C-alpha cells in the first residue's frame, strides 16, 4: 500500500516541471480505469493552510464542478472523492442539486480521510459512501461564526427549564442570553431544520430508497448526525465503524473491487493531494480523471511594511574639559 513517503519519493524521482500535477492526475486516471466510472476529486488544503476563506465549501465551487463535468460521459456515473472541512449550507445544497441533475442517483462518495459538516451532508446524498479504516465523517449541525446552532438552542431550552424550576436563576440566565441578538435564536432554529430536512430527503430518495421505510431510516441517521448533545462537538470525528453502526450504507475501501488496486489508487490520490498543498500555493482543487481542473491558489495577503523609525545619527559629544582649578 503506497504511503506518504513513497508518493514523495515518486514526486522527487519525477523529472517533470509539473510533477505534482502529473503524479496526481496519473492516479486519478487509474481510478477511473479500475472502476469504469468518472472520477472527480474535491480537495481542500485545510490541513496545510490556515485562515483562508477559500478552504471551505462555497458557491464558487459550482464553477469548478461545471468545468470538470463538461464533456463527461455521464452514463458512467460518478465517484466523488471528498476531502473537506465543510462550509456553506446553501452552497452544499446547490452542489448536490447540480450533481443530481447531471448524474441522477449514480454518484458514490469516497472519503480517503475527512469530510466534515457540509462535506458529510454531500456524502449523505450519495450511495454508497466508501470509507477506509482511517476515514471520518462529522456532525451536520450548522454553525454561525463557529457557534453550533444546536448548542445555542440547547442552552436556550436549558435556561427556560431552569428558570421555570427556580425563578431565582433569572438574573444568571439574563446575562448569558443577552449575548445573543434577538433574531439569533430564530436563525439557529431555521438552520437546524434546513440541514435536517435536506439530508433526510437526500437519504430517503437515494441511499434508503430501496428499503421498506426510507424516511424512517433517513430520520434516524439525521437525528444521530445532528444531535449536538450526543456528538458533543461540531469537530467530532465519526469513524467508519460508528457510521456503519449508525446505519449509513458504508462500503469499506479495503473490500471494494475485491483487490488491493483500488484502495492503493485512492490512497495514492490522497497522498498526492497532500503533497500538492504542502508544496504549492494551491488551497483547493476540483479535478477529474481527464486532467481538467479548477485550482484555487492562495491570494497573498498584502504586506504592510512598517516604516523604520528615523534614526538620529550619533552626534559627536564635545570633549569634557577638565574643570580648571581656581587659583588661590
Domain boundaries, the chain: 1-138+237-300, 141-231
Helix (H, G, I), strand (E, B) or coil at 197: helix
Query: Residue 69: its pLDDT value, please?
Result: 98
Residue 185 CA, distance from chain mean position: 26
- pLDDT, one tens digit for every residue, the chain (328 residues): 578 899 999 999 998 999 999 999 999 999 999 999 999 999 999 999 987 788 999 999 999 999 999 999 999 999 999 999 999 999 999 999 999 999 999 999 999 999 999 999 999 999 999 999 999 999 998 877 667 777 777 777 888 888 888 888 888 888 888 877 778 888 888 888 999 999 999 999 999 999 999 999 999 999 999 887 777 788 889 999 999 999 999 999 988 655 679 999 999 999 999 999 999 999 999 999 999 999 999 876 555 555 554 444 444 444 545 555 555 5
Scan for cell 446547490, then name that residue.
Answer: 94
Pick the CATH number of 1-138+237-300 from 1.10.3470, 3.30.70, 3.90.226, 2.60.40: 3.90.226
Query: Residue 184: its pLDDT value, please?
Result: 81
**Which residue from 174, 182, 215 is spatially nearest to 197, judged by alpha carbons?**
215
Query: Residue 42: its pLDDT value, please?
Result: 98
Query: Residue 159: its pLDDT value, please?
Result: 84
Partner residues linked to 284 by β-bridges: 44, 296
Partner residues linked to 256 by β-bridges: none
Euclidean distance between CA atoms 109 and 124, whole angstroms: 8
Residue 157's H or E segment, with its range, is helix 149-165
Query: Residue 310: its pLDDT value, please?
Result: 46
Query: Residue 323: its pLDDT value, please?
Result: 55
Q: Whole-prediction pTM value? A: 0.85
Query: Residue 166: its pLDDT value, please?
Result: 87
- Cβ burial of 272 (10 Å; 0-12, 13-18, 19+) is buried
> b/e for 94-131, b at 16 or more Cβ within 10 A?
bbbeebbebbeebbbbbbbbbbbbbbbbbbbbbbbbbb
**Which residue from 45, 5, 41, 3 is spatially nearest to 284, judged by alpha carbons?**
45
Partner residues linked to 130 by β-bridges: 110, 251
Query: Residue 153: its pLDDT value, please?
Result: 75
Amino acid at each position: 500500500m503506497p504511503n506518504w513517503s513513497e508518493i514523495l519519493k515518486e514526486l522527487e524521482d519525477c523529472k517533470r516541471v509539473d510533477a505534482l500535477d502529473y503524479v496526481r492526475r496519473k492516479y486519478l486516471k487509474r481510478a477511473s480505469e479500475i472502476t469504469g466510472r468518472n472520477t472527480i476529486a474535491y480537495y481542500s488544503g485545510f490541513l496545510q493552510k490556515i485562515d483562508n476563506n477559500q478552504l471551505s465549501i462555497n458557491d464558487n465551487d459550482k464553477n469548478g464542478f461545471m468545468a470538470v463535468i463538461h464533456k463527461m460521459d455521464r452514463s458512467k456515473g460518478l465517484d466523488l472523492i471528498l476531502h473537506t472541512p465543510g462550509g456553506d449550507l446553501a452552497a452544499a445544497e446547490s452542489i448536490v442539486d447540480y450533481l443530481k441533475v447531471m448524474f441522477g442517483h449514480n454518484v458514490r462518495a469516497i472519503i480517503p480521510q475527512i469530510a466534515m459538516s457540509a462535506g458529510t451532508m454531500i456524502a449523505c446524498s450519495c450511495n454508497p459512501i466508501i470509507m477506509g479504516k482511517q476515514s471520518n465523517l462529522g456532525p451536520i449541525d450548522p454553525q454561525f461564526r463557529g457557534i453550533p446552532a444546536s448548542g445555542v438552542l440547547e442552552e436556550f431550552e436549558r435556561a427556560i427549564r431552569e428558570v421555570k424550576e427556580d425563578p431565582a436563576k433569572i438574573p444568571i440566565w439574563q446575562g448569558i442570553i443577552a449575548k445573543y441578538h434577538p433574531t439569533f435564536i430564530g436563525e439557529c432554529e431555521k438552520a437546524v431544520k434546513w440541514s435536517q430536512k435536506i439530508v433526510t430527503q437526500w437519504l430517503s430518495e437515494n441511499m434508503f430508497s430501496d428499503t421498506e421505510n426510507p424516511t424512517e431510516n433517513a430520520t434516524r441517521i439525521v437525528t444521530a448526525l445532528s444531535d449536538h448533545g450526543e456528538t458533543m462537538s461540531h469537530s467530532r470525528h465519526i469513524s467508519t465503524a460508528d457510521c456503519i453502526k449508525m446505519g449509513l450504507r458504508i462500503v469499506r475501501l479495503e473490500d471494494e473491487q475485491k483487490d488491493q488496486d483500488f484502495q492503493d489508487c485512492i490512497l495514492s490520490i490522497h497522498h498526492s493531494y497532500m503533497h500538492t498543498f504542502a508544496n504549492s500555493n494551491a488551497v483547493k482543487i476540483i479535478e477529474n480523471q481527464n486532467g481538467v481542473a479548477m485550482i484555487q491558489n492562495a491570494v497573498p495577503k498584502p504586506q504592510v511594511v512598517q516604516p523604520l523609525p528615523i534614526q538620529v545619527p550619533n552626534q559627536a559629544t564635545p570633549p569634557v574639559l577638565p574643570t580648571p582649578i581656581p587659583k588661590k
